[in-house]
């Protein structure tokens, strides 16, 4: 049996032009009165993909899911599931199950009855139903809790019941609305891996909504970052993180320093910009912005090096003063005030337990980074 | 607060309960009075109960009251629940505020006005007054009480429960019957009980809207009292009190048992 990693590595249907999308949003718009929640959005998701919709609250991500589940109808545009148009199909006729943010467990039924609800609704016969429920309870490790009522469970157990209930009918597509939002950090991290295993075991397509970027990065094959009803960027976690297409995406995922300037020269996939904070050379995503245009150099804190002496042979180096230090254990965050007055952030991995002469407050230091460490953004 | 029994605490509790229950206790005691005079004790007897059950007009009135109560409470519960659901569910429709206000208004409307306006309505449409007019009148005013009780429960009802049911294969109607209704059932039942009680002890509206042959128990008692209070009235009232008390006791015991069964099931499994 191949490892999970090898399956994941080789899974890239979105790069195959001939691949048939499993879910297809075609120019979908949804308005609530004057408010446009989703604005002319198109998106393809492939079978067995773990797809995340990421964005701040109010960006339209939940509306997108609710349209897929059938609780909202698009104002304009079409939605396809496995090639079939979904227009006018009520929620109970869609081969889609949803896990709700509030879990929405039926309070008057015990755990087993909650899980069996959808199966009963389908008229599955008793013995098969009981077998499936037992299987689901085992999957989420809640065998001993079958007869408990939801209010007698902890938050993590409720979350697992909700998950078991939503996969009990073996839907081909599972929609998850902030599934881990109510869990504490440690439980959330554990559950993330459980969800990934489950998705692989059952061969499901997962569509998940979250505002937690770390969660999206860990679990997803691809992420769509949303902003005010549109998709700002779709890509693998690494693409989104290392090659964001805009300041919005760069800023939304992880920490980033953004330095503004005008393009002075470009060539060979790199662009040089000049601004109040200094001159920087950075990589470009696809096409270089025109000379003289305003552009932004975006660099992640962990890609900058802090040193007392100016290093030799680096593409970019700027002078600064240590403004603030935050020790996190695994790394140390240093806020550095540039000569222009702008404060940037650098992260230093703490590779040794004890450092003889650590960089301290108010020290004058050099920040250095290679041209490929940062990207130049044109919006 | 020390939680101790001080003299002040004891006396205020005794006084408070006496204020509430002394008249009722006296009424019950005097229903077993041998004497014809309500206020003079002449030994224990149950003869007034016997007399009561031989009084056909009193029994008729009780029967009418019971039928009106059961029918009006049931219809009012169905309509009131539907009203509450649509008021909570459909968050924005034309005239929602007006409609909500209009549901609450009859709660504070004096009975005399409700009764009189209904009487005028029945007269103007030439509706023969009797059992059905009383029932309709009781449905009209108790519907609002049911709507208010159910609505207060529905406000905290998580709508995603219903969506989850639909997502798992229920039509909207099935989702309501299998999930929403069971969850809000306690509120619906107490709405029904409230409606039934209101119908049971309504005198004013019934007097306005009733006709020949449809005298309710409160109307009967009131008219008898005007001719002089007999211990027979005490006996009727004692029976009513017993009925209501039994109902309340059964309801609370059922609640407690369900909670205990739940807890036991949880203990056994863990």
- What domains, with CATH codes, occur in chain A? 4-242 (3.40.50.300), 255-371 (2.40.50.140)
Residue B260 lies in a domain: no
Q: What percent of chain A has a predicted confidence (pLDDT) above 90?
A: 0
Select the residue from B159, B168, B187, B267 to test the A interface by mutation, using most A Cβ atoms within 10 A.
Answer: B168
Closest C-alpha among A76, A175, A86 to residue B160: A175
Closest C-alpha among A212, A247, A20 to residue A223: A212
The minimum CA-CA distance between B269 and chain A, rounded to whole Å, is 6
Strands, sheet with A364-369, edge to edge from the N-terminal-most edge strand: A305-307, A364-369, A316-327, A331-338, A343-349
**Hey, is the C-beta of A110 within 8 angstroms of any chain B C-beta?**
yes
pLDDT bracket for residue A101 (50, 70, 90): confident
The minimum CA-CA distance between B255 and chain A, rounded to whole Å, is 14
Cα distances (Å, whole numbers) of residue B214 to B76, B127, B219: 20, 14, 10
Instruction: Kindly identify which residue of chain B lies nearest to residue A145, measuring between CA atoms.
Output: B269
The minimum CA-CA distance between A132 and chain B, rounded to whole Å, is 15
Confidence check: pLDDT of A9 > 70: no
**Hey, is the C-beta of A137 within 8 angstroms of any chain B C-beta?**
no
Determine the Cα–Cα distance for residues A73 and A64; give it in Å rounded to an integer.
10
Which residue is associated with the tokens 């890509």? A235
Residues of A with CB below 8 A from B158's CB? 102, 104
Give the mean model confidence (pLDDT) for residues A191-217: 83
Determine the Cα–Cα distance for residues B213 and B60; give it in Å rounded to an integer.
9
Give the mean model confidence (pLDDT) for residues A124-145: 85
Residues 91 to 110 of B: which have CB under 8 A from any A CB?
A: none
Give the mean model confidence (pLDDT) for residues B139-155: 88
Determine the Cα–Cα distance for residues B60 and A113; give it in Å rounded to an integer.
48
Select the residue from B89, B93, B164 to test the A interface by mutation, using most A Cβ atoms within 10 A.
Answer: B164
Give the mean model confidence (pLDDT) for residues A40-55: 86
Confidence check: pLDDT of B214 > 50: yes
Residue B17 or B231, more confident: B17
Structure tokens at B256: 């407690």
**Hey, is the C-beta of A144 within 8 angstroms of any chain B C-beta?**
yes
pLDDT of residue A8: 57
Which residue is associated with the tokens 């919005």? A248
Residue B166 or A310, more confident: B166
Q: Please calculate the CA angle A284-A285-A288 and round it to the nearest 5 degrees.
A: 50
Instruction: Kindly identify which residue of chain B lies nearest to residue A109, measuring between CA atoms.
Output: B179
Residues of B with CB below 8 A from A108's CB? 182-183
Residue B157 lies in a domain: yes
Backbone angles phi, psi at A279, to 5 degrees: -105, 130
Give the mean model confidence (pLDDT) for residues B246-263: 77
Q: What percent of chain B has a predicted confidence (pLDDT) above 70?
A: 94
Confidence check: pLDDT of B116 > 50: yes
Give the mean model confidence (pLDDT) for residues B85-106: 77
Residue B34 lies in a domain: no
Mean pLDDT score of chain A: 83
List, for residues B161-193, the tens digit of each pLDDT value.
988 999 888 888 898 999 989 988 888 888 888
The minimum CA-CA distance between B226 and chain A, rounded to whole Å, is 51
Give the mean model confidence (pLDDT) for residues A102-110: 88
A vs B: CB pairs below 8 A: 75
pLDDT bracket for residue A1 (50, 70, 90): very low
Confidence check: pLDDT of B73 > 90: yes
| Structural domain of B127 | 55-221
Mean pLDDT score of chain B: 84
Determine the Cα–Cα distance for residues A360 and A372; give it in Å rounded to an integer.
28
Determine the Cα–Cα distance for residues A26 and A43; give it in Å rounded to an integer.
7
Residue B240 lies in a domain: no
List, for residues A244-284, the tens digit of each pLDDT value.
888 888 888 888 888 887 887 777 777 888 878 777 887 88
Residues of B with CB below 8 A from A145's CB? 269-270
Residue A51 or A363, more confident: A51
Confidence check: pLDDT of A10 > 70: no
Give the mean model confidence (pLDDT) for residues A7-35: 78
pLDDT of residue B72: 94
CATH assignment of the domain containing B182? 1.10.3720.10
Determine the Cα–Cα distance for residues A38 and A323; give it in Å rounded to an integer.
42
pLDDT of residue A128: 85
Number of Cα atoms under 13 Å in the Cβ half of residue A33: 3
Number of domains in chain B: 1
**Chain center to CA of B168:** 37
pLDDT of residue B138: 92
Instruction: Kindly identify which residue of chain B lies nearest to residue A119, measuring between CA atoms.
Output: B168
Question: Cβ contact (<8 Å) for A121 and B174?
Answer: yes
The helix/strand/coil state of B248 is helix
Select the residue from B161, B167, B182, B266 to test the A interface by mutation, using most A Cβ atoms within 10 A.
Answer: B167
Question: Cβ contact (<8 Å) for B168 and A71?
Answer: no
Give the mean model confidence (pLDDT) for residues A177-193: 78
Residue B149 lies in a domain: yes
**Hey, is the C-beta of B168 within 8 angstroms of any chain A C-beta?**
yes
**Hey, is the C-beta of B262 within 8 angstroms of any chain A C-beta?**
yes
Determine the Cα–Cα distance for residues A58 and A228; give it in Å rounded to an integer.
7
The minimum CA-CA distance between B144 and chain A, rounded to whole Å, is 27
Give the mean model confidence (pLDDT) for residues A317-341: 84
**Hey, is the C-beta of B128 within 8 angstroms of any chain A C-beta?**
no
Give the mean model confidence (pLDDT) for residues A50-76: 86
Confidence check: pLDDT of A298 > 70: yes
**Hey, is the C-beta of A98 within 8 angstroms of any chain B C-beta?**
yes
């Amino acid at each position: 049996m191949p490892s999970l990693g090898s399956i994941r590595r080789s899974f890239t249907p979105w790069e195959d032009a001939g691949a048939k999308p499993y879910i297809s949003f075609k120019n979908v718009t949804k308005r609530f009165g004057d408010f446009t929640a989703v604005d002319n959005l198109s998106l393809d998701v492939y079978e067995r993909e773990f797809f995340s919709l990421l964005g701040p609250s109010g960006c339209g991500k939940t509306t997108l899911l609710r349209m897929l589940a059938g609780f909202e109808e698009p104002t304009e545009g079409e939605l396809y599931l496995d090639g079939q148009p979904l227009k006018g199909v009520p929620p109970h006729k869609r081969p889609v199950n949803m896990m709700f943010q509030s879990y929405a467990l039926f309070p008057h039924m015990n755990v087993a009855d909650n899980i069996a609800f959808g199966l009963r609704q389908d008229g599955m016969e008793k013995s098969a139903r009981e077998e499936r429920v037992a299987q689901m309870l085992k999957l989420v490790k809640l065998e001993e809790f079958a007869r408990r009522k939801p209010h007698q469970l902890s938050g993590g157990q409720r979350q697992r019941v909700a998950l078991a209930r939503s996969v009990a009918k073996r839907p081909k597509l599972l929609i998850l609305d902030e599934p881990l939002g109510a869990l504490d950090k440690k439980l959330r991290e554990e559950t993330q891996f459980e969800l990934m295993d489950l998705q692989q075991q059952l061969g499901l397509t997962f569509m998940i909504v979250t505002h937690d970027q770390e969660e999206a990065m860990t679990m997803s094959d691809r992420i769509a970052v949303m902003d005010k009803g549109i998709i700002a960027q779709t890509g693998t976690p690494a693409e989104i993180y290392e090659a964001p297409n805009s300041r919005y995406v760069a800023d939304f995922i992880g920490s980033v320093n953004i330095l503004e300037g005008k393009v002075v020269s470009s060539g060979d996939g790199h662009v040089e910009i000049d601004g109040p904070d200094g001159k920087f050379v950075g990589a470009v995503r696809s096409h270089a912005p025109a000379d003289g245009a305003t552009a932004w150099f975006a660099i992640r804190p962990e890609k900058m090096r802090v040193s007392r002496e100016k290093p030799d042979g680096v593409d970019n180096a700027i002078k600064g003063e240590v403004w603030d230090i935050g020790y996190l254990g695994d790394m140390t965050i240093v806020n550095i005030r540039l000569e222009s007055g702008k404060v940037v952030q650098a992260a230093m991995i703490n590779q040794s337990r004890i450092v003889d002469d650590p960089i301290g407050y108010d020290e004058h230091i050099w920040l250095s980074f290679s041209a490929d460490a940062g990207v130049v953004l044109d919006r | 607060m020390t939680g101790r029994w001080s003299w002040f605490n004891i006396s205020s509790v005794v006084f408070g309960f006496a204020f509430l229950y002394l008249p009722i206790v006296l009424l019950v005691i005097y229903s077993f009075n041998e004497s014809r005079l309500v206020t003079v004790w002449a030994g224990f007897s149950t003869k007034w109960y016997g007399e009561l059950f031989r009084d056909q007009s009193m029994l008729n009135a009780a029967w009418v009251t019971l039928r009106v109560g059961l029918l009006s409470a049931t219809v009012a519960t169905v309509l009131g629940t539907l009203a509450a659901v649509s008021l909570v569910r459909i968050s924005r429709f034309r005239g929602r505020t007006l409609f909500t206000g209009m549901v609450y208004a009859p709660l504070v409307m004096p009975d005399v006005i409700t009764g009189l306006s209904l009487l005028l309505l029945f007269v103007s449409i030439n509706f023969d007054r009797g059992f059905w007019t009383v029932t309709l009148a009781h449905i009209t005013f108790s519907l609002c009480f049911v709507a208010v009780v159910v609505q207060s429960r529905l406000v905290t009802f998580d709508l995603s429960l219903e969506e989850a049911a639909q997502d798992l294969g229920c039509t909207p109607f099935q989702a309501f019957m299998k999930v929403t209704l069971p969850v809000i059932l306690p509120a619906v039942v107490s709405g029904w009980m409230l409606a039934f009680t209101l119908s049971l002890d309504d005198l004013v509206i019934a007097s306005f809207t009733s006709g020949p042959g449809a005298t309710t128990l409160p109307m009967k008692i009131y008219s008898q009292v005007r001719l002089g209070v007999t211990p027979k009235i005490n006996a009727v009232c004692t029976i009513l009190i017993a009925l209501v008390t039994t109902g309340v006791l059964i309801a609370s015991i059922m609640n407690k048992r369900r909670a205990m069964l739940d807890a036991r099931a949880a203990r056994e499994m863990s």
